[in-house]
Amino acid sequence: MNQDKKSKQGNKRDMETTELRKLQLCLTDMLVMFDEICKKESLTYYMFGGTLLGAVRHKGFIPWDNDVDVAMPRNDFEKLKRRISKHLPEHIEIQTYETDPACYSLLLRVRNMNTVCELEGSTFAGSKYNGAFIDVFPLDNASKESSIGNTVRSFLIRKVVKPLAVRSGENNRENKSIKQKLGNLIAGILPREKWCKLDDRIAKGFDNSSAPYCINLGSHYSHKKQVFLKDKLNPPAQAEFEGHMFNVPKDCHYVLKKFYGENYMKMPSMEERHMEDHVILKLEIGDEEK
C-alpha cells in the first residue's frame, strides 16, 4: 500500500473517531438531563446493555459505541411517558409509536432535534425524528426465568405483530409471493398504531407486579438473555460514566454475565467488535450541542 493511500485511510479513521466522540458527548449531556428528570419524578431506571458494559469496563462509552440504552420497570416507563414532556427543553422530543406514525417499536426514544443522527439499522423510514437519541426499554413482569409464556410473548411480538406493524405503514408493499400477499392483507386490517398497541398488550400480558422476574421484550436481542431477577436490579446502584454518576442494576455482574457471558471484562478482538452494527450514516451536531 502506497503512502498516500495509507494517509487517506488514516485521515478517514481520525474523522470517524472525531465524529463518534462528538456524538458520545452529546448523548452524555442527554443522559444527564434524563437522570435529572427521573430524580425529579422519583422514577427508577438502569443503564443497560452496551451502555452498562461501558460504565463497568470503561467508566464511559465502549470506544466504538454510538448509542445509549437504559431500561425501566414498566410502571415507571408508563409514568415517564406521561410526565417527561413538562421537563423537556424545546429541542428535546419523545418518539414512540404514539407520537410518530413511522415508529413501530415498543421502546421510547428521547431525541435531540437540534441534531441529525442516522445510525445503521436505527432509522424509521419516513420519520421526522432523526436526532441523537437515548433508547428507553420497558421491563415487564415474568413469573420464571425460562417459560413457555416468555417464549410465546417474544414470538408473537417479534415474528407476528411487529412485522405486521411494519407492513401496515408501507406505501409500496412487496406483493410477490403468497406469503407476502397474505401478510399485506392481514397488515392492512389495522393501522400501524393499533398493531403497536397490540404488541404493548402482549408485552404487558403477565401483569403481576409481585412476579420475581422482569423481561425486556423491546430489544432485538434474544429474550432469553434479558430475563432478570428483580432483586438483582433493585435498589439501583451508581456507577461512573463519562465523569458522571448514573443508575445501574444492583448486581451489574449478574446482568452483564447474562448479556455477554463470563468474560465481559475482556476487550474483544477487532473481528468480534461488530463495527458494522455501529455505523454512523449521517451526523450533524452544532457547536452548541458539544
Question: What are 101-123's pLDDT values in tens digits?
Answer: 999 999 999 999 999 999 988 88
Residue 276 is predicted with a pLDDT of: 65
Which residues touch 124 (CB under 8 Å, ≥6 apart)?
100, 102, 103, 104, 105
Mean pLDDT, the chain, rounded, equals: 89
pLDDT at 14 > cutoff 50:
no
Residue 134's Cβ-count burial label (10 Å; 0-12, 13-18, 19+) is buried
Mean pLDDT, residues 247-275: 92
Confidence of residue 287 (pLDDT cuts 50, 70, 90): low
Residue 173 is predicted with a pLDDT of: 60
Confidence of residue 171 (pLDDT cuts 50, 70, 90): low
Mean pLDDT, residues 238-252: 98
Pairwise CA distance, residues 225 & 119, whole Å: 24
Q: Tell whether pTM > 0.85.
A: yes
Q: What is the percent of the chain with per-residue pLDDT over 70, rounded to a whole number?
A: 90
The two beta strands, 46-47 and 68-73, are antiparallel
pLDDT at 12 > cutoff 70:
no
First vs last C-alpha separation in the chain: 36
Taking each helix axis as running N to C, give the angle between helix 252-260 and helix 49-58, from 0 to 180 degrees, rounded to the nearest 10.
Answer: 120
pLDDT at 129 > cutoff 60:
yes
